Amino acid sequence: KAGVTQTPRYLIKTRGQQVTLSCSPISGHRSVSWYQQTPGQGLQFLFEYFSETQRNKGNFPGRFSGRQFSNSRSEMNVSTLELGDSALYLCASSLGESLHEQFFGPGTRLTVL
Amino acid sequence: AQKITQTQPGMFVQEKEAVTLDCTYDTSDPSYGLFWYKQPSSGEMIFLIYQGSYDQQNATEGRYSLNFQKARKSANLVISASQLGDSAMYFCAMSRYNFNKFYFGSGTKLNVKP
């Protein structure tokens, strides 16, 4: 069974631009979560989508948004990029019902110049 | 709110020895799950082990075991017979039972010496 895939793996953007990251979950998984990892703040939860609906949300500004498609693939968008948005963005998928381990993708490393 | 604390920023262990990575948590929910993940330098998070709050037995997965002490709110990871490939960052995480929202600790960097 294929794992979680994320594209692109690396991105370089400049301040003010916007970016879209993509995540394909493990087949059969209906939940996709997004995390931001930085050296200073560690791993922080952004949001979770389940069956195309945002089910949980972290404490990030509205510049961070996401969506999930009917095939469970998810995209995350960051608008008006700031230097502080430079981070490793990790996507995780799980079955979604009750509580299950999350399986992570390799991440997208975003650098904002 | 949920909080995870890992007090060991870095640790060294000799190859083939056992090592314990500490994790304490804080929650008022009676139903929750505790997880450990390994993150090698490549960046990908690898799931290691899971413990449910109502599980009576400590979880084990191969060389990994979770020392769950509910009253003390601790969920330490024990790695037996350390290998060089175990050198990585290790994260403890928790989630409430019906909320797929993981809270992570700050991590412990484990270095296995030959």
Whether residue B108 is predicted with pLDDT greater than 80 in this model: the reply is yes
Whether residue B88 is predicted with pLDDT greater than 90 in this model: the reply is yes
Whether residue A100 is predicted with pLDDT greater than 90 in this model: the reply is no
> Cβ separation of A33 and B102 shorter than 8 Å?
yes
CA atoms within 13 A on the CB side of B100: 27
**Cα separation, A61 vs B87, whole angstroms:** 35
Side by side, which strands form the sheet with A74-78?
A: A5-7, A19-24, A74-78, A64-68
Percent share of chain B, pLDDT over 70? 100
Whether residue B42 is predicted with pLDDT greater than 70 in this model: the reply is yes
Whether residue A77 is predicted with pLDDT greater than 80 in this model: the reply is yes
Q: How far is A103 from chain B (nearest CA, A)?
A: 7
Chosen from A38, A43, A95 to mutate, greatest number of chain B CBs within 10 A: A43
Tell me the two tokens of residue A106. Answer: 């390799």
Residue A79: other Cβ atoms inside 10 A: 14
Residue A1: its pLDDT value, please? Answer: 65
Q: What are the pLDDT digits (tens) for A14-72?
A: 999 999 999 999 999 999 999 999 999 999 999 999 999 999 899 999 999 999 999 99
> Cβ separation of A101 and B106 shorter than 8 Å?
no
Tell me the two tokens of residue B71. Answer: 């009253």
**Cα separation, B109 vs B90, whole angstroms:** 6
Whether residue A95 is predicted with pLDDT greater than 70 in this model: the reply is yes
Whether residue B14 is predicted with pLDDT greater than 70 in this model: the reply is yes
Contacts of A45 in chain B (CB under 8 A): 101-103
> Cβ separation of A55 and B100 shorter than 8 Å?
yes
- Output the CA torsion A110→B2→B6→B9 (10° steps): 30
Which range among B7-21, B52-66, B89-103 shows the weakest confidence by mean pLDDT? Answer: B89-103
When pLDDT is cut at 50, 70 and 90, the band that residue A8 belongs to is very high
Contact B54, B112 (CB under 8 A): no
When pLDDT is cut at 50, 70 and 90, the band that residue A98 belongs to is low
Q: Look up residue A63 and give its amino acid.
A: R
Whether residue B99 is predicted with pLDDT greater than 90 in this model: the reply is no
Q: How far is B43 from chain A (nearest CA, A)?
A: 6
Query: Which B residues 18-47 touch A at CB under 8 Å?
Result: 32-33, 35, 37, 42-47
Burial (CB < 10 A; 0-12, 13-18, 19+), residue B105, is: buried
Bridge partners (DSSP) of residue A95 are: none
3-state helix, strand, coil in chain A (%, to 5): 5, 55, 45
When pLDDT is cut at 50, 70 and 90, the band that residue B113 belongs to is very high
> Cβ separation of A101 and B50 shorter than 8 Å?
yes
